[in-house]
Amino acid sequence: MAKMCMIERELKRRNMVEKFKTKRAALNQIILDINASSEQKQEARQKLQSLPRNSSPVRLRNRCSLTGRPRGVYSKFGIGRSKLRDLMMRGEVPGVIKASW
């Protein structure tokens, strides 16, 4: 089980990314626009740099929804590998059966 402060920090980051998504997309569109002047692009870069660091989607980390474990998380299920294995052994994941050959 991960520390609660790490789980809360990740939730805080997800909320901040969602909050600044439109502003960040608009500034990136100005920066990538070939018709924009260099002054407009420079101003957009300055505004983008002034946004909070945690508003960048690159800083997000996938975590297990049950334990908060940061590594070994299957994105299809949103659960860490160890908990996914436990659930599969109990037959709680539909469509997944134990292999035998």
| pLDDT, position 2 | 83
Q: Which of 20, 16, 42, 18 is nearest to 30 (CA)?
A: 42
Cα end-to-end distance, the chain, whole Å: 34
The residue-averaged pLDDT of 17-43 equals 96
For the chain, domains (ranges, CATH) are: 1-61 (1.10.287.1480), 62-96 (4.10.830.10)
pLDDT tens track for 51-88 = 999 999 999 999 999 999 999 999 999 999 999 999 99
Has residue 100 got a pLDDT over 90?
A: no
